[in-house]
Structure 1
Amino acid sequence: MPPSFLFATCRFGSEPALKREVAMRHGGLLTPAFMRPQLITWKVQGELPADFRFGGLFAQVSGRSLGMAETVAEVVALAAGTGAAHLHIFPREVPEEGVPEETWARVDAAAAEIQALLPLNDQKPLRPADYVLDVIIGAEGEPMLVGLHQYQPGEFKTPGGLSRASLPPEAPSRAWLKMEQSLSWLGVEKELKGLVVLELGSAPGGASHSLLSHGATVYGVDTVAMDERVLAHPQFHHLRVSAGDLQPDMLPDQVDVLVSDINLEPRIICQYVEKFATRLPPLGMILTLKINSAKVEAEMPAIIQRVRQWAPGPVYVRQLSSNRREVTLVSWGDR
C-alpha cells in the first residue's frame, strides 16, 4: 500500500517557502494536511511513483509519516515491520540560536527509552537506501510524530539534520556555525588539514576561523577588515580586494576548496565562483546563497542546474538550521 501521508521538517519561518516548493515540484500529488512550526505533513493523492524523491531546498528531513505516538510503546508499534536500520530522535522546534539544553535533555530522555526497546544499528554509518526511523519530539505534552525515510547521498546524516555545536565566544561571526554545519553535512572535517581554501567574502572571519581550526590554509577575499584573531593566524592570508576584482595571478598555485558567503544575488555569486572553479579546478566548494525575494527563490532551480555543469562533484542544496534567508550549496569531488 502506498503511504497516506508524507512529512517534512524545515527551519522556522520557511514553512511557506516549503509549501510553495512542494506545490511547484509535486503539483496535485501532495496536498497539505497538518502543520506545526517547523513541521508539515501532506496527504498523498493517489500513488507515489517508484522513483519519487521529495527533494527541494527547504526540507531538512522528509519521509513517510507513520503517525503520532503518545508513548514509547506506541512508537515501537508504529515502527514494526518498517525495516528501519537506524533511529533518529530530534526536537521539532529549533530556535535560531540553537536548541536549549533543557530541550536536548527531554530528547535524550525519550531517546534512551525508545532505544532500549528499538536497538537499531545506530553505531554503523548510514549507507544509501538504509531506512531511518524518525521520532520528532514536540513541545511538552505534544505527541511525537513518527516517520520513516530512506537515506540518499546528499541528505543529512545527523538526526533532524541538526548539530549540537553552539557558537563559541571566540567566533568572529555566525558564519562559524554555518561552516561547521556544512562540514559536518559533507563529512569532510578531517579532510581539511593541509588543504588550501579560497573564501570570497571572508569578513569578519567566522567561516575562516572554522576552516583554520580544522587545519586548512585560508586566503580570505574581502575589502572589509578581518577579525584580529583571524589575521594573526599563520595560515590565514588576507586579499583585500572585492570578489569581482580578484585576479588569478593573486592566488596561490593550488586552491582545493572554494567558499563564499557574500550578500549578493546567487546568480552573481555563482558567476564569480565559476570563473575560478573552471580554471583551478577545486576539490570542493561550499556556497551560502541568499534568497531575499520570491524572484530569487523561483530562479534557484535554474541556477543550481547551471552550477552542476562546472561543479567538482555532485551538487546538493539545503537550508541548514543556522541559515537565515539563505541556503547552502555543497559539492565535493574525488582526487
Structure 2
Amino acid sequence: MFALTNARGETVDINNDKLLSYTPTGLGVHFTNTYSQYETYFKATKSTVAQGQFQINILFGDVESQAYQTFSDFAQFLAYQPLTLTYTTSAGTWYRDGRLNSLTKTEIGGSTVFATDRINESFTLEFINNWYNNRSAEYKSYDPDPNLAKYGKEYINQGANNAISDTNSIVGLAVVGKAILGKTEDESVTKADFAYGYFGEHGDNDYYYAYPESVVNSSEKMLPLVNDSKYFGLQQGSPCIVTITGATINPHWTVIQGGVTVSTDGFNLTLADNQRLIVSSYPEDQYARVYNPDGSFADVSQLQDFTMTNFVQIPEGESTVLVYVDKDAGVNLTFKEERMLV
C-alpha cells in the first residue's frame, strides 16, 4: 500500500517484514474557512488548505538481530530529499512529494509505542504538494494527403441538422459557426472567430464544436487535453512541463479553453536540431532550460517573452494547447492531474 522513493530514485516498500508499517494517519485534507456573517447567514469569504502531514509507525527488522541495521539503512535512504510517497489502493495509485519531519529513535524493548523485540518508531512526512499522477500528450503528425489541404474534426450533438460538410478549409469548418456568430454568407470567417474550439449554442440544446486537428504545412501543432484534477476551488490549473525538440525559431504556445485564451508562453531563441527546450511551471521546480546532446544545459529564463503570461498551467476539464514551432520540431507536454483527496 505504501512505498517511498528518494531523490536518487531509490524505492523502499514500507509494507514488508523488514519495514512493517501500521496505523497510518494524515491521508486526508483539512480546510480553514473564513466567513462573513449577516444575521443568521454565513457567507464564505476565504478558504485555505492546511499543509498535510503523513504519519506512520514502523517496525524495523524481521528479527531482533537485524533491527539496528535496518533502521540505519532506512535513515541513510531518507537523507536524499525530497521524498515521494506512493499510495496504492483499489481506487488506483497516487503520488505525493514531501520532506522528512521526524523519525523517532528508541531502543529495542523501550519504544514509546509498545514494548517489542524490534525497534518500533514513528515516521512523519510533511507534504509539499497535492496527490498527483503525471499525464502526457505528444504531437504526432499525419501522413501528408495531397488531396486535402487540412484535416479537421467536428463535434455536433443530437438535434443539430446542419453538419459541417467541407473539412478542406477553415471556411468549410466554420459554416455552422457563421450562423452562431451572427455572420452573413459574404462575410469571412477567420481563425480568431472560431478559436479552435467552442462556437456557442444554437437553440436550447444544440452545441457546436469545430477545429482543425492539424495543418500539414503549418508550424502550428495542437494538443487536446483532458485534466481531471480536483482543487475544491482553491487553484485554477495544473502545473506542466513543455518540451520542444529540434530546430525551431521563437517557439511559443497558447492554452485555449472554451474558445478563450487562458495562458500563453514563448521564448525569443533559436534551437538547433539536436537541442531541447524544456519549460517547467511546477512551483517547487520552475525553470526554462535549453539542453544539449551531452546533457549539459543553459538557463534561458531571461529569453522568455514577458508580454505573455509565462509558465502556463493546464485548466481543469477539456482544453487545447496550440504550439507554434517549425514544421519538423517535436512537441511533448506533461501535466500533473492532481487531487486534494484520494
TM-score, L = length of structure 1: 0.23
- If asked which structure has higher relative contact order (CA below 8 Å, sep 6+), I would say 2
The structure carrying a bigger helix percent of its residues is 1
